[in-house]
Amino acid sequence: MADKARRLDGNVEGNFYVDATCINCDACRQLAPANFEEVGDYSAVTHQPTGDAQIRQAYRALLACPTGSIGTERTSPALLNAAKTDFPLPVEDEVYYCGFNSEKSFGANSFFVRRPDGNWLIDSPRYLKPLVDAIERMGGVAHIFLTHEDDVADAARYAKRFGAVRIIHHEDVHAMADAEVVIEGGDAHRFSPEFEIIPVPGHTAGSMCLLYRDRFLFTGDHLWWDPEYRRLDSPRQLVWDADALRYSIATLTQYSFEWVLAGHGGRVRLPDMDMQAALRDLVQRRQQAGTP
């Protein structure tokens, strides 16, 4: 729970604020970009929300915050509970953002795909009753895809609750040693007609992307959208192998997709040709700079 006594100086005056426990994971900036911005090493409320839509977005950010660093001077239980029922939050078609980001994965996003033949959870949110109940109403979880070792969070609890099959790469399996499906090697393969698993070593040795319906690419910490510069970006720190990362980014130019749905960083939808252009731009920038 946020502490008013530790309210950051970067916040403007008003009801919503961020305190000093913030880990700058950017979840709030994704959910309520009109109100939260990065100020120094933290997120802060730079514009107080006005109107029902912005206030609801701010409450969603409060709920998603992995460290409980967002608070209010005066809380509206009705608005807070309404925002709670928004998760999982629709992205497009049957793809959802789970919310309730976990501190165990440094606030990484997780996603949910609703399918008649079994739902998928991509990485893990916190295991909380409101979200668990919502997922149960949506048909539970058949598969849990873990993009890499850092974002497993409460995957084991979700797997036990729903009898789900967990999928992780052999190189990162130490993070989920009892996973039911372990991916070997560096070749992509179709797991089912609509899901393709693409190993993308670089950030970690066992990083993977999941491509759904050749439209939605779930990227973990491999790739994300930078809203400030309006371009794709990739890790520069905490990189297991910079050469492998550059090669893995380049391999994605072989695939068609419209969405990048990242664990950390912004998510974006672009027409396929624009997405490919953005991807080629990232490849060129990394090759010219000689950095990840």
**Domains annotated on the chain, with CATH:** 4-84 (3.30.70.20), 89-289 (3.60.15.10)
pLDDT one-digit tens code per residue, 245-288: 999 999 999 999 999 999 999 999 999 999 999 999 999 998 88
Burial class (CB in 10 A: 0-12, 13-18, 19+), 238: exposed
Total Cβ atoms within 10 A of residue 269: 16
Of residues 41, 43, 33, the one with CA closest to residue 12: 43
Task: Please say if the pLDDT value at position 292 is more than 60.
Answer: no
pLDDT value of position 287: 86
Distance CA(249)–CA(178), nearest Å, equals 29
Residue 71, SS3 per DSSP: strand
Residues in the chain: 292
pLDDT one-digit tens code per residue, 48-79: 999 999 999 999 999 999 999 999 999 999 99
Distance CA(162)–CA(138), nearest Å, equals 12
Q: Write the DSSP assignment of 37-87 as a string of letters.
A: EEETTEEEESS---HHHHHHHHHHHHHH-TT--EEESS--HHHHHHHHTTP
pLDDT one-digit tens code per residue, 163-201: 999 999 999 999 999 999 999 999 999 999 999 999 999
Q: One-letter amino acid identity for 53?
A: A
Task: Please say if the pLDDT value at position 290 is more than 90.
Answer: no
Helix or strand (DSSP H, E) at 154:
none
Of residues 28, 9, 34, 33, the one with CA closest to residue 20: 9
Percentage of residues in the chain with pLDDT exceeding 90?
A: 97
